[in-house]
Amino acid sequence: RPHYSSLLSKSRGHLRSALTNGLREATGVPGARMRYNEHDFWKHVVCRHGYMLVGWPAEIPFANLSAIKGGRRPLDELLQLWNTGKLTFVRVATRAEID
């Protein structure tokens, strides 16, 4: 069990684990890694594994979780969306959706 230095790092760690484990479950790839910038996410998650992350709120920038401003609030909001299934990985149906 990880030890966190603050509640903020705890929230960040929980969210990071949830998204990484969710990606691994969705893809069936045990070593799949979540990416937090648009280029790497596109290349390594969408194109390589064929999954999109649906439900990320527009008001929270899609970025490294350490770079998201606003303290715990946006991280807790994302975790709540994940836990309720509103933020989830969805299989891209066709190659045309990727291109």
Q: What's the pLDDT score for residue 8?
A: 87
Closest CA to 37 of 8, 75, 65, 79: 65
Give residue-wise pLDDT tens across range 19-69.
Answer: 999 999 999 999 999 999 999 999 999 999 999 999 999 999 999 999 999
Query: To which H or E segment does residue 38 belong?
Result: helix 38-41
The tokens describing 39, both together, are 């280029």
pLDDT (0 to 100) of residue 36: 94
More confident residue, 97 or 84: 84
Phi, psi of 48, deg, nearest 5: -75, -45
Q: Does domain 7-98 have CATH number 3.10.530?
A: no
Bridge partners of residue 52, in order along the sequence: 90
